[in-house]
Structure 1
């Protein structure tokens, strides 16, 4: 299952549609907290998360999971591709850091690198 965590409804819906079209099961969440509290949390094979969200950012979510020993391949997406944030994010199980707007093929390439 691919978990998509993004506070923007339109982005969440478009990623959901794209990833489903590739044949993956997808669960979407409007916040990191909703993802962590979900029953689907333990079955995520990959996490696609926005970097900037209210309360807990995507980077903080990734760091939280890593601190608990949970290594979910993670794809970060952001409208603010700052190098310092990219360096902080791209640790552990992080696999991609995409700048919005990104081409669908860029996300597909990230997923294929994880599941091929």
Structure 2
């Protein structure tokens, strides 16, 4: 019987970054889906299956931080890893709140990203067994 692998969603308007992260995660055995905007991600029917969200902070339209806040407001808190090419101390400080497991500056190492995702999945499984 196949086990359901955790779904990792990648939301980034930079196609090369989005595809690189998706490829890495799939090579590590995760189900990974990539989206070019927050709105595209919010339209998927299986949003609740998402175990971790990796999203760029700076995107046209809704930012990664706004996407995280929208999900929380909708009652769909998904552990989130924020990525950015433009690190700003005030953004990082406001970002590291509930449900944000990391804030990485591009370019970042694969292992750093995988460690953040592992933390997110541990957080997720802890919530499921605790409820």
The alignment's TM-score, normalised by the length of structure 2, stands at 0.84
Which residue pairs with 1:43 in the alignment?
A: 49
Matches within 5 A, 1:69-88: 69-88=75-94
The CA distance in 2 between the partners of 1:65 and 1:23, in whole Å, is 26
Q: Secondary structure at the match of 1:14?
A: helix
Q: Is the 2:51–2:121 Cα contact (8 Å) retained in structure 1?
A: no
Q: Secondary structure at the match of 2:108?
A: coil
What's the offset of the Cα at 1:43? 1.4
Aligned length in residues: 116
Which residue pairs with 2:127 in the alignment?
A: none
What's the offset of the Cα at 1:71? 1.2
The alignment's TM-score, normalised by the length of structure 1, stands at 0.95
Q: Equivalent of 2:98, from 92, 96, 100?
A: 92
The CA distance in 2 between the partners of 1:38 and 1:100, in whole Å, is 27
Q: Secondary structure at the match of 1:45?
A: strand
The CA distance in 1 between the partners of 2:107 and 2:11, in whole Å, is 16
User: What runs of 5+ residues in structure 2 fail to find an aligned partner?
Assistant: 1-6, 123-131
The CA distance in 2 between the partners of 1:23 and 1:12, in whole Å, is 17
User: What runs of 5+ residues in structure 1 fail to find an aligned partner?
Assistant: none
What's the offset of the Cα at 1:84? 0.8
Instruction: After superposition, give the CA deviation of every residue in 1:48-96 in whole Å (9 maximum; x if it has no partner).
Output: 0000000100000011111222210000000011111112221111100
The answer as to 2:64 corresponding to 1:66 is: no
Q: Secondary structure at the match of 1:72?
A: coil
Q: Is the 1:66–1:92 Cα contact (8 Å) retained in structure 2?
A: no
